[in-house]
Structure 1
Amino acid sequence: MNMAMASSRVVLSRPRDHKLSVINGTLNKMSKEQLKRQAGELGLHDKGTKNVLLPRLKNYYKRVKDCLPTQADAGAAAVVTSLNEQPVDYFCVVDFEATCWSDVPFMTAESEIIEFPVVLLNARTLKKEAEFHSYCRPTRNPILSEYCRSLTGITQAQVDAADTFPFILKRFESWLAVHVRRDQTISIATHGPWDLQKFLFDQCKFCEQPFPPYAQHYVNMKRHFSNLYSVNIHDGDLSIAGMLSMLELEFEGQEHSGIDDARNIATIMQQMMRDGYVLRNNREVLLQ
C-alpha cells in the first residue's frame, strides 16, 4: 500500500478490526490526490471528491481478506463490490415528470404525471438492461403550461397523442413481467421522495385506483448518497447533477427529461454499488 504519509506496509499480525482501524486512520490523513492515486493502484474508480474517495477505499479494505495487498497483488485484485449483498435482483429507477406551473407552489399543485420513465438496473451485474418510456395524457389540466413545456422539454403534441395514466401503468407492469422473472425481486428507486409520495400517490388517488404495492417501500437514493459520502442532505448540492459532479461524472442528456434523469440516477447507483454500498429500501410512501 503506497501512502506518502505513512509507511508503505502495516504489520498484519493484529486482529482484523485493529488492522482496519489503522488503515482507516491512515486514509483519513491523506490528501485527495493521494486517495486518487491509491484508488488507481488498487484498480478502483479514481474520480470523485475526497468525500467520495474516502468511503470507496474504506469499503474496499473492509471487504478484502488481505487488507493490505502489495502493489503487485493489487493489479490482480478484482474491483470489490457488494453485488451479492444487494437485497434485490433489480432496481426500477424512476423519475416522473408532472404538470407544473411557475406561479403554483410545488406541494399544493394538482400535478398529473406526464412522463413515465423507468430504467431497469441489474443489481448483480450493474448493467442497465432495459428501459420503459411513455408519455401520459393529463385529464385534469390537459394543456401544459409554458413553464412546464420549457422545464421538461415535453410538447403538447406528445401528451395529446399519449394514453392516460391507468393504461400506461398497466403497460409498465406488463413490460416488467417480461423482463423480470417471478422468482426475482425488485425495488423502486428514485432521486428523492416526491416521485412516489407526491406524484404517484396523487395520480393514483385522482384516478381512483390502488397504489401499487411494489412501490410503497422504495430506495430514496439521495439519502443513501448523503449517508455514504457524508454530505449534509440539507446543505449539500444533492441534485442529480450535483451528485454526478461529486463523483466527477458528467450529466448525460437533458436535465428534467424524465428518461435522462432516470438514466443518470442509475449511473450514480452503479457507482455507489461499486463503492461497496448496499442500497436497501429506506423510505415508505404514507398512504393517507
Structure 2
Amino acid sequence: MTAVYKCPYDNLLILNIATTCEERNFDYPLEIIQFSIVVIDTRTKTIREDVKFNRYVRPIINPMLTDYCKSYTGIAQATVDTAEPFPVVCEQFCEWLQVHDFQETRYAFVALNRQDLWLVAQYQFLLTKQPLPAMFRQWVDMNALMTKAHQGQYTSRPEEDFVQNMSDFYSIRYEGKARNALDNCEFLAKVTKRFLDDGNLVTVNEILKCFFGNRNIPLTVDPEWGTKFISAMEVHERILPLIACHTGRFFPEDHYGMCHYCKQPASVCTGREHKQYPKDMYEQLREPSVFAITAGLVKEQNDHFGHYVLNRYRPTGKFKEAGVQGRAVAVFDILHNRDGLIMKRIMHPEDYHRELTVLQAMRGQAGFPHLHDFFTTPAHLGGVQYFLVMDYEGECLDDVSRRTDRGISNYNLMRITYKLFWTLESLHIQGYCHRDVHARNVVIRQEFDGLVRIKLIDFGMSLPLDPSPMPDRNLTSWHASLEVCRGDAYSRFDDLTSSLFVAMWCIRLNPFGEDHGQYLTRKVTFDANPLVWFTKELKWIGKLYNSIQLQRSSGYSHTDMFDNFHKWDPEFDPTSPITHSVIENQLRIE
C-alpha cells in the first residue's frame, strides 16, 4: 500500500445511477430513478461511512415503472411515487455538496463507465431543459482505468457486466441488492480504494465535448438498433449534443467544466445546442427515435406541414368516428406496410396546430397516442386539409364503461382515475392543459402484454398553461369544473376536476342533471358539499375534489394530491393493473 494516494483530488465521489427502462428497448427515454454517492477521502485513504447521498427520483415522462424496470432495479412503484422529481433532487445534491464542503475542483466523480454521465445525466438535463452543470462534464471511468493499468489481465467490453468483472478480478465480494445504485457505489468504492492502494493513479480520464471528428464520418444505422446495445450506443453518440472522449491530460484548475473542443465554460457550451446535427442519420431511421424526440433533439419536429404522399393511406373500414373537431377512420399505410392506424382529418387549422404541438411534445410518453404521421394536402387538390395519423389506442372509456353490467368496481375506478391523474400531470409538466377531458377523450385497451392501459386523446383545445388561458368560447359542459363554467381562466386544476367527473360519469353518478342551462347552478350546489353525493366506498372522489379546490389557493402539491389515493386504503395499490375480462372480443372492466 502506498503512503500517499496518487490522486490530485481531496475526495472521490463514487457515483451510480438507476434509470427507468424497458426490456430490449434502447430507444427509450431514460429517466433517473435513483441517484447515489459514496465518498472516498484520499487524504485519509478511507471510505467515509458517515457521508453518503442516496435519493430516489420520481420519473415524469414515464411515471409508471415497467415490470421489467421494477424487477431489474429492485425499485418499487410506491418508492418513486413518493419521491421528488429530478430538479428537486439535483438541488438537494448541490446543497449536500455545500454542507460537506466539497469544492468543485477538489473532487471528481468516479463511475463504472461512461454511461452514467455521458448518456444518463446528459439526457436527464435535456429532458428538464436545463444546461448540463460543469460538475458533470468530467469524470473517472474506472473500467477504462483498470483496462489500461492491467493490460492483458483485465478486459471488459461495453455489453459485459462491469461489476462482475471487477469483482472477479479483485476478489471483492458484491454486497447488497444487485443493480441498486447505492450498493453499486459501495462496491465501486472498494474497487477504487483497492486500485489506489496498489499505487495506481486515479484522475479524470473522460470528458464531454461539443464536437468530435469521428461524428462527421457517415454512420450506417443498424435497422435493429433499438434492440441492440452496441448499435444503440452508436446512434446515441450521434443524437446527444455532447460526446464522451478519453483524455490523458486534465488539470482541474484549468480544465474543470470546460469543453475541450471550443474551450468555452459550461455556462457557454451548455450542451443544449447540437453542433453536429445528425440529419443523415435521422433520415435512415425506419421509425422516429423516441429517445431523441422526447428530449426535443429532432429539429424537424417543429414542422407542422409534414410531407403529403398521394394515396399513401388506404381506409380499412375497421373504424370510423366523427366529432366536433373532425373525422377519424382506420387506415393502412401502404408505404410502410403498417396496419392499426387511425387517420384524423381536422376541420380547423388552429385545432390541428394545437393538437400536433401537444402530440409532438408528448411523443414517447406514457398515456399519450403515438404520432405516426402528419400532413396537409395541397390547395390545388380541392383545398388545404389537415391530417394526423396515429396508432389505434383503443375504445373510448365511455363505451367500455357502458358494457360493464354491474358497473366498474370501486378499486378499478380508483386505478383508472390514478392513471388519468398521472397522465394529466405529465401533460402539465410539459406546459400544456387539455381543456376537454371527458369520458370519450379517454381511451382504454388491453395491450400485447395483457395489461389494460388508458390514454388521453383529442388535444385540439389544448393550450399552454402559462399564461393561464382565458376562455375563447363557452366551455360549460357536464365534465367542466365550476370555475370553467363561470368563465374563469383555465388551470391544471380544471383538468384534474374533469378527470374526477369522468370517474363519476363511468358509474352513472349524476349530480349535474341533463339540462345544459342548469349545469352552473348544480355545480355550485355540488361544490358546497361534494361528500354528500358519495357512498362510503366512493368518498375518496369527494375528498380528491376538496383537495383540488384547496390547492387552487395553496398551490399544487404532487405529494399531497396523490397521497389521497394511497391513504384512502393503505392496503390497496392504485398503481396495480386494472382487472378485466375479454368476452366475445370485447373488453370489460370488472
| Alignment partner of 1:251 is 2:170 | no
Matched-pair contact (CA < 8 Å) for 2:9–2:108: yes
Matched-pair contact (CA < 8 Å) for 2:15–2:109: yes
The offset of 1:239, in angstroms, is 1.2
1:239–1:156 distance in 2 versus 1, CA, 3 Å: same
Match of 1:137 in 2: 58
**Larger helix percent:** 1
Match of 2:71 in 1: 150
| Alignment partner of 1:169 is 2:97 | no
| Alignment partner of 1:124 is 2:124 | no
1:144–1:238 distance in 2 versus 1, CA, 3 Å: closer
Take 1:236 and 1:80, find their aligned partners in 2: how far apart are those partners?
33
* 2:2 partner amino acid: V
Take 1:183 and 1:141, find their aligned partners in 2: how far apart are those partners?
32
Q: Which of the two has higher C-alpha Rg?
A: 2
Matched-pair contact (CA < 8 Å) for 2:121–2:136: no
State TM-score, norm by structure 2: 0.34
Matched-pair contact (CA < 8 Å) for 2:57–2:89: yes
Take 1:243 and 1:203, find their aligned partners in 2: how far apart are those partners?
27
Match of 1:263 in 2: 186
The offset of 1:93, in angstroms, is 0.9
1:236–1:104 distance in 2 versus 1, CA, 3 Å: closer
Matched-pair contact (CA < 8 Å) for 2:156–2:162: no
Take 1:97 and 1:236, find their aligned partners in 2: how far apart are those partners?
17
SS in 1 for 2:53: strand
List alignment gaps of at least 5 residues for structure 2: 211-240, 242-590
1:246–1:283 distance in 2 versus 1, CA, 3 Å: same
Matched-pair contact (CA < 8 Å) for 1:222–1:238: no
Take 2:89 and 2:83, find their aligned partners in 1: how far apart are those partners?
9
State TM-score, norm by structure 1: 0.68
Take 1:181 and 1:251, find their aligned partners in 2: how far apart are those partners?
27
Take 1:148 and 1:87, find their aligned partners in 2: how far apart are those partners?
38
1:162–1:183 distance in 2 versus 1, CA, 3 Å: closer
Match of 1:221 in 2: 142
The offset of 1:245, in angstroms, is 1.5
Aligned counterpart in structure 1 of residue 30 of structure 2, from 111, 118, 141: 111
SS in 2 for 1:95: strand
Aligned counterpart in structure 2 of residue 102 of structure 1, from 23, 45, 58: 23
Aligned counterpart in structure 2 of residue 210 of structure 1, from 114, 128, 131: 131
**Larger strand percent:** 2
Matches within 5 A, 1:1-288: 79-83=1-5, 85-105=6-26, 108-129=27-48, 130-182=51-103, 185-230=106-151, 231-234=154-157, 239-287=162-210, 288=241
- Divergent runs of 4+, >6 A: none
Take 1:199 and 1:235, find their aligned partners in 2: how far apart are those partners?
15
The offset of 1:126, in angstroms, is 2.5
Take 1:285 and 1:274, find their aligned partners in 2: how far apart are those partners?
28
CA-atom RMSD, angstroms? 1.9
The offset of 1:235, in angstroms, is 9.1
* 1:223 partner amino acid: A
1:161–1:247 distance in 2 versus 1, CA, 3 Å: same
Aligned residues with identical type, % of pairs: 25
Take 1:283 and 1:112, find their aligned partners in 2: how far apart are those partners?
22
The offset of 1:210, in angstroms, is 1.6
1:122–1:245 distance in 2 versus 1, CA, 3 Å: same
Take 2:79 and 2:96, find their aligned partners in 1: how far apart are those partners?
21
Matched-pair contact (CA < 8 Å) for 2:104–2:135: no
SS in 2 for 1:96: strand
Higher RCO (CA < 8 A, seq sep 6+):
1
Q: Deviations over 1:115-173 (max 9, x none)?
A: 01111111222322211000000000000000000011000000000000000001011
SS in 1 for 2:108: strand
Take 1:236 and 1:82, find their aligned partners in 2: how far apart are those partners?
35
* 1:273 partner amino acid: L
* 2:134 partner amino acid: P
Take 2:182 and 2:91, find their aligned partners in 1: how far apart are those partners?
19
Task: Give the aligned length.
Answer: 207
* 1:271 partner amino acid: R
List alignment gaps of at least 5 residues for structure 1: 1-78
Matched-pair contact (CA < 8 Å) for 1:121–1:266: yes
Take 2:2 and 2:203, find their aligned partners in 1: how far apart are those partners?
18
SS in 2 for 1:285: strand
* 2:184 partner amino acid: D
The offset of 1:260, in angstroms, is 0.3
Q: Deviations over 1:172-229 (max 9, x none)?
A: 1111111135497110110001101111000000101121201201100000011122
1:118–1:182 distance in 2 versus 1, CA, 3 Å: closer
